[in-house]
Amino acid sequence: MYLASKSYTSVPYCVKFYDKEDGNAADLDELIDEFELMKDMSNKSVAKTYEVFQDSSYFYLVNQPYFGGDLTKIGARALKQGVRMSEAWWRGIFKQCMEGLDYLHSKAIIHCDIKEPNIMIADGDDYSAPNAVLIDFGLASPFANTAAGISGTPGYIPPETFQTQQWQPRGDIFSMGITFF
């Protein structure tokens, strides 16, 4: 669940919260790991997180907001604004996605869950030149992680991850290719 604000502070934010009673929700250690991973990100195509905290009922992540929807909605929203979705327009979006992924990989981080809902458009006011941003680092893993097991979304997980039970950086490239397709 998300709450977003443009008015309570001078910096807009989005609060992602998890009910502690929900057995499927992340636990505090997972959220702290996600926060530690995201707090120092400094790339316009990668989400930024400002804070993690909890109260008696919820865990919270305070993130940079993205008001333009995710890639599942971009076509309809651009069409509504009369934007011509040419090959060059899509290429610009895909390039930003790859720049974000390149940045993550330069930091030795594998996303492990690239898919349309995990790529947001920063601002919903103008779709003629949208800014794509990679989000949701709950499954992200350092390159050095040798733990076995499959995580991610079926249909986006590369075949070699199923075979080896480990993510490799090129697996993100496979997932991005599925997303672009």
Residues known to be catalytic:
113
Instruction: Output DSSP code: residue 47.
Output: -
CA atoms of 81 and 127, how far apart (whole Å): 7
CA atoms of 21 and 19, how far apart (whole Å): 5
DSSP SS3 for 177? helix
Sign of the CA dihedral running 163, 156, 20, 58? positive
CA distances from 150 to 10, 12, 87, 94 (A): 41, 35, 34, 26
